[in-house]
Structure 1
């Protein structure tokens, strides 16, 4: 997974369990410092990467004294509101935030490359001020960065280059140190939010990344509860009966059983939001068109009275799939969402683990780790699965980091990265 000789050094801030470490060590880097405030995640990091992990850098202390010189600073930093008082310039505006500590380290050590990752919303309208401060502050320290967000997801990267079947759009802020005379020149984002090398994301085969059933330890832990199995059975019958009746296109809008009624009797209360009124009308029209079939289905399952309110809602996003067995599912507050089994939604640090239609079970932590580009040798000893899911949901996809880092090294024009690019593969291979 990593080269025998190290061609550069890096530090790993807000390190989680080590997605950056997986990618940068595969490029030939040596990690000389890592920090993570979450003790459980730090233990997993220490176990897998065999190095000590410092507590998180915090605004009340000067981080410079802790951090050794390095060539690359990597950080999946948290986004915090920055002061807008007087719209001050540069680092002072970020003082008191964790991002300020990153700036202090950059100011002191001037690593050749900075590689930051954050959620998509960091570049959205609600965080416009934070985005401006981040870009301006990095440029004032001499780093050439794009003011256009570099958004990318592992499902856009072909498997031959380390991609994975997971839609996980993240923003990357990547900069090369060029000095303050050059750093304010605008550059294009290091990556674009589109498939690489003609790859078609619809060609993903999720089953390629699943474990064989007989190799899953404690297999019963991933089975659905009897109640959850009943929910799936109810909605599986819904789909099968519509298909048998010749319905080629299932509704793309949310199905709300509690609002099934004949279109002629529909009354939309005054003040109902337009989006909800639209869904009410669509549900009524759908019910009217298939009233006899739907009434039999409801009657066979006791009007769904034993289903919680959120499970009486159904979101079909699986196009022409024949049944729930052919799909993946998520139990969401908004209902049971069904998708085609090409790629999964982003792993999240809450209990919305992807459910496979066949075999009917949740994905395992090992499978979730594969979707984050971590090797099967990566371990989660001594902790419950819920903690592993949380850590993976908070993590960064290693294959994407590898791709983004190589792209920045290649375009930097810095001769120091030529040997790294020559000695490393274009493909991220775990």
Structure 2
């Protein structure tokens, strides 16, 4: 059934019908880009009907006097296939080795990592509109929206190999229960588990914050593992905490990795990736040329940070800003002000001290600045040709929320290696 037909009659006179029409248009646009990216691998059939509908709407808007048929729209859709990849910075590999889906996709850290080792992404979802803009700019594909909605799940194709998800951490209500699939209802992990149950991928690759291990006194992780092992039928080795610093980026970023393999594959052993020998330092990712004065702290702001740190130090606390030496390692980049304030640095290359933002005092002369979004991108392992198409504020948020690409890639290599065995 076409998306517009899914709107219920009782909503016709309400505001919700306009919102749902907009949502329907967004879904069709996502289906259109997914169709273009999957026209050669058989997955396109999951997206074709709404892709044709989207093109039909485009043609009707451009040619209001003409009657646009599905046949005309299908021909136009084939025309798009010749041109859509001309300006995609990170296209999929020409000869993919496996297929995966990208849930809670953010700006595509999982996708970039798995494409680098020969993976083909056949479905992606992300609800944040700014992250979707960055994702589209770099991969030429618009993620579907809210994965908790049945309509979003209905677009997920069959027969993909790996499910990837960096889902948010939520507590489960498991008091007096066995801590399995049913106990995850109302959480985002439930939606992941529901997809696994229905699509049965060969492997599952989940990433979360280090604190998941102790979250809700360990009950949250216990429920996740019980669900995967007992209810969904996957071999799941004991999860491991991986530090991105051990895989080529100068950032202390510890995340828990959970991997699972469908029981019928007969896999009973998995080796987590080993740290590489390279020990990166901050100067490896810093800008070589002078950066804008907007990244330098004002005197007033710097004094505020110093006073704040001094107050905590007097109480025996270690809170406050931190200046990372060039030979050092950055703290974990996170969204929010402290992610930047705990990763300040000295940079004396500034020659123009005239403020270009509305600060209320002079630019500091100590050379103290925050890192640029591009430097944060490098800390997360994104290449320099990864496009930043949003404001700095959004870019900090996106890179802070992202996965560290090299660590994800090292883990994905091990998953693929295990599947091949």
Q: TM-score, normalised by structure 2?
A: 0.66
Give the equivalent residue in structure 2 for 1:137.
227
Measure, in 1, the Cα distance between the counterparts of 2:249 and 2:307: 34
Give the equivalent residue in structure 2 for 1:356.
345
- Post-superposition offset of 1:310: 3.9
Q: Select which of 273, 294, 303 maps to 1:221.
A: 294
Q: Select which of 298, 314, 336 maps to 2:321.
A: 336
| Paired residues, number | 304
Q: Select which of 395, 399, 404 maps to 2:402.
A: 395
The verdict on how the C-alpha distance between 1:376 and 1:200 changes in structure 2, with shifts beyond 3 A counting, is: closer
CA contact (8 A) 1:314 1:336 kept: no
- Post-superposition offset of 1:200: 6.8
- Post-superposition offset of 1:83: 2.0
Measure, in 2, the Cα distance between the counterparts of 1:18 and 1:200: 25
Give the equivalent residue in structure 2 for 1:327.
none
Measure, in 2, the Cα distance between the counterparts of 1:125 and 1:104: 22
* 1:297-319 Cα deviation digits (max 9, x unpaired): xxxxxxxxxx644455569xxxx
Measure, in 1, the Cα distance between the counterparts of 2:263 and 2:333: 36
* 1:59-98 Cα deviation digits (max 9, x unpaired): x637542211221110100111112143135311112221
| Structure 1 unaligned spans of 5+ | 158-162, 233-306, 316-331, 416-430
Measure, in 1, the Cα distance between the counterparts of 2:391 and 2:313: 30
CA contact (8 A) 1:94 1:100 kept: yes
CA contact (8 A) 1:63 1:101 kept: no
CA contact (8 A) 1:153 1:169 kept: yes
The verdict on how the C-alpha distance between 1:83 and 1:336 changes in structure 2, with shifts beyond 3 A counting, is: closer
Measure, in 2, the Cα distance between the counterparts of 1:93 and 1:229: 48
The verdict on how the C-alpha distance between 1:227 and 1:145 changes in structure 2, with shifts beyond 3 A counting, is: same
- SS of 2:126's equivalent in the other structure is coil
- Post-superposition offset of 1:394: 0.7
- Post-superposition offset of 1:402: 0.4
CA contact (8 A) 2:271 2:414 kept: no
Give the equivalent residue in structure 2 for 1:3.
93
* 1:20-53 Cα deviation digits (max 9, x unpaired): 0110111111111111111111111111111021
Where do 1:20-169 residues align within 5 Å? 20-58=110-148, 61=150, 64-69=153-158, 70-88=160-178, 90-124=180-214, 126-139=216-229, 140-146=231-237, 148-157=238-247, 163-169=248-254
CA RMSD of aligned residues (A): 2.6
Where do 1:281-296 residues align within 5 Å? none
Where do 1:139-288 residues align within 5 Å? 139=229, 140-146=231-237, 148-157=238-247, 163-179=248-264, 187=269, 190-191=272-273, 196-197=275-276, 199=277, 201=279, 204-214=280-290, 216=291, 219-228=292-301
Give the equivalent residue in structure 2 for 1:324.
none
The verdict on how the C-alpha distance between 1:101 and 1:62 changes in structure 2, with shifts beyond 3 A counting, is: farther
Q: Select which of 350, 368, 378 maps to 1:370.
A: 378
* 1:89-135 Cα deviation digits (max 9, x unpaired): 53111122211111111111111111100000111153511111111
The verdict on how the C-alpha distance between 1:196 and 1:115 changes in structure 2, with shifts beyond 3 A counting, is: same
Q: TM-score, normalised by structure 1?
A: 0.65
- SS of 2:176's equivalent in the other structure is helix
Query: Is the aligned partner of 1:404 residue 2:411?
Result: yes
- Post-superposition offset of 1:188: 6.0
CA contact (8 A) 2:234 2:261 kept: yes
Measure, in 2, the Cα distance between the counterparts of 1:94 and 1:83: 7
The verdict on how the C-alpha distance between 1:230 and 1:56 changes in structure 2, with shifts beyond 3 A counting, is: same
Give the equivalent residue in structure 1 for 2:332.
346
The verdict on how the C-alpha distance between 1:63 and 1:136 changes in structure 2, with shifts beyond 3 A counting, is: farther
| Structure 2 unaligned spans of 5+ | 1-89, 349-366
